Amino acid sequence: MPQMKIAHNLKSDIEKNFKFWTITLLLLAVFQCGNVFGQIELVPIGTGPYPENRDLKSARTQATLSLPFFDDFSTTATRYPDPAFWMSGGGVYINNTMATTQPSVNMATFDGLNANGTPYEYLNQLSSGLTDTLTSVPINLGGLTAADSVYISFHWLAKGLGELPDNDDSLTLEFLDKNNQWRYAWSQKGMVYDSLFAQKLVPVQKPDFFYDGFQFRFRTYGKRSGSYDTWHLDYIYLNKGRSVNDRYVLDLAVRKPLTSFFKQYTAMPLKQYWVNPGLATAAQVETNIYNFAKNLNTTTYTFTVANEVTGEVYQLYTSPTTDIIGGNEVQTKRVALNPNIKQNSALKELKLKYTFKLNTSDQQTTTIPSVDLRRNDTISARAILSDYYAYDDGTAEYGVQISQRLARVVQRFALAKPDTLAGLNMSIVPFNKDVSGQSFTIQVWNNKNGKPDQMIVQKSVTAKYPEQRDGFVQYAFDSPVALADTFYVGWIQINEQPLSIGFDRNSLLGKENVFFNLSNEWVKETGLKGSIMIRPYMGGKAAGVVTGNEPAIDQDAYFFPNPNKGLINWKSSQVKKIEIYALQGHLVKTIIPETGSQSASLGDLADGMYIFKASDGKRSLVQKMLIVK
């Protein structure tokens, strides 16, 4: 029985995780080899010390709801379920990005992370058990019987843009009887992949369920150490007078997020946008409409672009009447962008809100009496014109990492006019081990023939997790970096434990702009379909503008001999500072060479492998050396 899954023994735990650990060990072996298989890979989001969220509202518990019960999560303004319908806690994540075929805007996602984005189990990566729970508030079924034909319906999906649940994982529906006992009602096992949500109707029949205070809950069973098993729910409807064939509702809904307002980005600096707004603005935006009715439905829609702060409207469009075929038909709608935004050099920031709204009569439906189904007729997005560039939509479905030591990853951005770079905003996401406090290096490169060429600047920084899920951490350079046109920003992996950066699978704007370097050659990444959540922010004054290739540190600056017996040598007089790091990422020694000196003693270092970073004050080189005394 599904409710007995919590009693899994050690044998089934090992079998369940055999595939995961086999793959993990193979990957670790490959990374140790340092070959081409050290390239970029996607990983699930896992362990991370996000602080506890103390703003959760208490759910309604003093009075029961009357039928019908309906929630499609379209009115939820936060990432937590609406407390008018659901008990607080439970760990489910309300979003509109973890799948692409949700019936209406927003869905509830179940994974191995609690409500704060942290795993249920920190210490045991093999741990499996109950994970997220979505529990309704009490509902009044008093006075009803099985003859009243009470059914609950919902749409469910495994995986979406997350991880496919394993065969032993499950999504289960339970009912609370009048004796305060949870009873099994329905269950779905993992390893059943479909790109479309499936609709399910389950009857409420037993006499013990017909009382004032009835509740239902959905629970998932899977890996508790991270987002490895993903389920999604939408359009949950409980009412009497239904049947197993009651699958259609007179309802039109928007569902898919609006595409980006910008042609190349999801956000960009305002002063870069003013250079050529027509070139920077996308030709159109799109979403799609879902028809829950069995028959054809007719609608019009409006589209607006407005200043979110002042309310000024820059574009207003109303469509002619359009027909939407019935039978759960999906139809894509596109609207041309032609906003009339007057340039104002005094503005430092411009926040645009663009909205697609169906004009329906869904509130008059008799399918779900007393429920205004216009609730899912509107979808909005924001276009931020501030001081930064972004390809991502602000949500991470995965993490992206490169595991080979000294390998580098960058993402390309293009300026409309010369500017200065102040720093990077990065969304560091957890995976298996806590990397907070670990050192890594951020880098900026200029462009030559569509690839990174010379490194302009780099800085050693410390990994930090953002304060909340999908947040960013800011890393500022010591002084602004002057840039002429196209540039690349990213990081170099200098530790054994890889750094994981948030990866947005919904936005494809960055998919042609990622490059990696495992040794001495930059390669364009073609396998990733999405955008890395790294955002360069502009501003500040620099001494000059980088207009071409600048000389790098002389290659003779590399230290020798290697292996080394405690006395290093170098040939270049450009070296002004030497930093020596342990492979774990912490700084162990700093050397400031005297004028004319081209050697230094390492007698105080223990035997082992170290990472040497030499700087001429503008650029750096990195070399790995073995010290054996």
Give the pLDDT confidence score for residue 47 in this predicted structure.
43
Give the pLDDT confidence score for residue 545 in this predicted structure.
38
Give the pLDDT confidence score for residue 56 in this predicted structure.
35
For residue 235, what are the contacts with CB-CB under 8 A and spacing of at least 6? 72, 103, 104, 153, 154, 155, 292
CB 57 within 8 A of CB 73: no
Whole-number percent of the chain with pLDDT over 90: 50
pLDDT greater than 80 at residue 608: no
CA-based R_g, the chain, Å: 28
Nearest in space to 399 (alpha carbons), one of 268, 497, 519: 497
Q: What global pTM score does this model have?
A: 0.75
Give the pLDDT confidence score for residue 552 in this predicted structure.
41
Highest-scoring range by mean pLDDT, 136-140, 481-485, 549-553: 136-140
- Mean of the per-residue pLDDT values of the chain: 83
Higher pLDDT, 149 or 549: 149
Give the pLDDT confidence score for residue 323 in this predicted structure.
81
Give the pLDDT confidence score for residue 495 in this predicted structure.
77
Give the pLDDT confidence score for residue 563 in this predicted structure.
75
pLDDT greater than 70 at residue 606: yes
Give the pLDDT confidence score for residue 122 in this predicted structure.
58
Q: What is the mean predicted confidence (pLDDT) over 207-216?
A: 97
CB atoms closer than 10 angstroms to residue 598: 14
Give the pLDDT confidence score for residue 26 in this predicted structure.
35
366 band by pLDDT with thresholds 50, 70 and 90:
low
For residue 82, what are the CA distances in angstroms to 57, 431, 481, 629?
A: 9, 29, 45, 65
Give the pLDDT confidence score for residue 483 in this predicted structure.
93
Give the pLDDT confidence score for residue 220 in this predicted structure.
93
Give the pLDDT confidence score for residue 433 in this predicted structure.
76
Whole-number percent of the chain with pLDDT over 70: 83
Residue ranges of domains in the chain, CATH in brackets: 2-33+64-247 (2.60.120.260), 275-344+349-386 (2.60.40.10), 398-538 (2.60.120), 555-627 (2.60.40.3080)
Point out the least confidently predicted range of 50-59, 188-197, 231-240, 353-362: 50-59
Q: Is the peptide bond before 68 cis (omega within 30 degrees of 0)?
A: yes
**CA angle (282 as vertex; 276, 288 as ends), nearest 5:** 165
Q: What is the mean predicted confidence (pLDDT) over 215-230?
A: 85
Residue with tokens 């508030």: 137
Give the pLDDT confidence score for residue 121 in this predicted structure.
67
Highest-scoring range by mean pLDDT, 76-90, 476-490, 585-599, 612-626: 476-490
Coil, helix or strand at residue 106: coil
Give the pLDDT confidence score for residue 275 in this predicted structure.
95
The DSSP letter of residue 273 is H
**pLDDT tens, 52-67?**
333 334 444 456 899 9
357 band by pLDDT with thresholds 50, 70 and 90:
very high
Give the pLDDT confidence score for residue 226 in this predicted structure.
67
Q: How deeply is 166 buried, as exposed, middle or buried, from its count of CB atoms within 10 A (0-12, 13-18, 19+)? A: buried
CB 251 within 8 A of CB 377: no
27 band by pLDDT with thresholds 50, 70 and 90:
very low
CB 300 within 8 A of CB 320: yes
Tokens of 149: 């034909």
**CA angle (142 as vertex; 146, 176 as ends), nearest 5:** 80
Coil, helix or strand at residue 30: helix
CA distance 250 to 543: 64
Tokens of 270: 């305002």
CA distance 482 to 542: 6
Point out the least confidently predicted range of 24-38, 87-101, 324-338, 384-398: 24-38
Give one DSSP letter per residue of 161-203, joined into a string. TSPPPPTT-EEEEEEE-TTS-EEEEEEEESS---SS-EEEEEE
369 band by pLDDT with thresholds 50, 70 and 90:
confident
CA distance 14 to 41: 25
Give one DSSP letter per residue of 41-88, joined into a string. EEE------PPPP--PPPPP-SSPBPSPEEE-STT--SSS--TTTB-S
CB atoms closer than 10 angstroms to residue 366: 6
**pLDDT tens, 537-596?**
999 766 443 333 333 444 444 688 877 888 888 877 778 888 888 766 678 899 888 877
Contacts 24+ apart (CB under 8 A), 342-346: 343/274, 343/277, 345/274
Q: What is the mean predicted confidence (pLDDT) over 424-452?
A: 89
The DSSP letter of residue 98 is S
